[in-house]
């Protein structure tokens, strides 16, 4: 099973790269974030023609998350349990067959950015992470193969950013944000990338401004968190960095994990 996550930064603008990714990488499940469209505007026909079932939680102009699956989708949870999203579409969860008679639970997550940190946006970010942590705790009790995938808008460590000093005051890198990340992972979830590599300089986002891509001034904020049952099956993780060099790219790139 290949599970991927990608903040497409407008699915309608990235339809061609999305279809190319589905064809070339063939994920069994793809979690999308920042759709920036309501359900009626989602390119469902094109995605279904590519061989994928779709569930989504859309929102006009902002946010929006989806799960695409080559396998049947048996159950869906729309919205983060225990959290008042104030109309923001940031969480969707689904149960799919893994093709071998077992189930896989997957969530597509678009956590709040939180900037500027001195505004209510940061309190909203931390409240979202607290609710996510509590729900993630409950999911562990199911003892299922679970993947919590998405754009967490958190840089976990210094090695996940090109210049830690430059991001010291940013909501993505504040100590409270990183502490929220640790509370989540300390429940028993495995950061898929860090299970296979300790290397610095592995980024998933490069801003459109100031030549960030050309200068490799990136950050790692797109993550796949694995339950113990999923971590036991992990065989490979890849950041599809080449996607950032394509025509009209998203500022994020896909990340996928293979589960044996």
153 belongs to an annotated ligand binding site: yes
Residue 158: active-site member: no
7 belongs to an annotated ligand binding site: yes
Residue 110: active-site member: yes
- Measuring CA to CA, which residue among 114, 129, 86, 101 is closest to residue 174? 114
**Of 57, 135, 223, 252, which one is the catalytic site residue?**
252
> What's the full length of the chain, in residues?
260
Residue 144 Cα distances to 5, 185, 220, 232, 243, angstroms: 19, 16, 27, 12, 31
Residue 195 Cα distances to 225, 231, 235, 241, angstroms: 10, 8, 10, 19
With 0-12 CB in 10 A as exposed, 13-18 as middle and 19+ as buried, what is 101?
exposed
Contact (Cβ atoms closer than 8 angstroms) between residue 18 and residue 11: yes
Q: How far apart are CA 137 and CA 154, in angstroms?
A: 19
Task: Decide: helix, strand or coil at residue 227.
Answer: coil
251 belongs to an annotated ligand binding site: yes
Which residues are paired to 145 by β-bridges? 104
Task: Decide: helix, strand or coil at residue 102.
Answer: coil
What are the start-end ranges of the H helices in 53-166? 120-140
**Of 110, 122, 124, 189, which one is the catalytic site residue?**
110
Residue 151: active-site member: yes
For residue 77, is the peptide bond before it cis, meaning its omega torsion is within 30 degrees of 0? no
**Of 151, 160, 170, 222, which one is the catalytic site residue?**
151
List binding-site positions for Mg(2+).
7, 34, 151, 153, 251-252
Residues at the binding site are: 7, 34, 151, 153, 251-252
Catalytically active residues are 110, 151, 252
């Amino acid at each position: 099973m290949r599970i991927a996550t990608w903040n497409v930064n407008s699915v309608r603008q990235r339809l061609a790269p999305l279809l190319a990714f589905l064809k070339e990488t063939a994920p069994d499940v793809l979690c999308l974030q920042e759709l920036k469209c309501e359900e009626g505007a989602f390119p469902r026909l094109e995605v279904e023609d590519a061989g994928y079932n779709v569930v989504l939680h859309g929102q006009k102009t902002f946010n929006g998350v989806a799960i695409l699956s080559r396998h049947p989708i048996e159950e869906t949870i729309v919205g983060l349990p225990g959290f008042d999203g104030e109309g923001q579409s940031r969480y969707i969860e689904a149960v799919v067959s893994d093709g071998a008679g077992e189930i896989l639970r997957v969530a597509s997550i678009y956590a709040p950015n939180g900037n500027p940190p001195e505004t209510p946006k940061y309190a909203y970010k931390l409240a979202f992470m607290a609710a996510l942590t509590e729900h993630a705790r409950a999911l562990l009790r199911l003892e299922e193969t679970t993947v919590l995938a998405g754009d967490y808008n958190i840089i976990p460590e210094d090695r996940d950013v090109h210049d830690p000093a430059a991001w010291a005051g940013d909501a993505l890198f504040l100590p409270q944000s990183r502490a929220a990340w640790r509370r989540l992972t300390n429940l028993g979830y495995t950061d898929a990338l860090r299970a296979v590599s300790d290397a610095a300089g592995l980024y998933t986002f490069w801003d459109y401004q100031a030549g960030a891509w050309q200068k490799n001034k990136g950050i790692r904020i797109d993550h796949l968190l694995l339950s113990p049952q999923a971590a036991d099956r992990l065989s490979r993780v890849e950041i599809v960095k080449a996607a950032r060099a394509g025509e009209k790219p998203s500022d994020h790139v896909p990340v996928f994990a293979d589960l044996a």
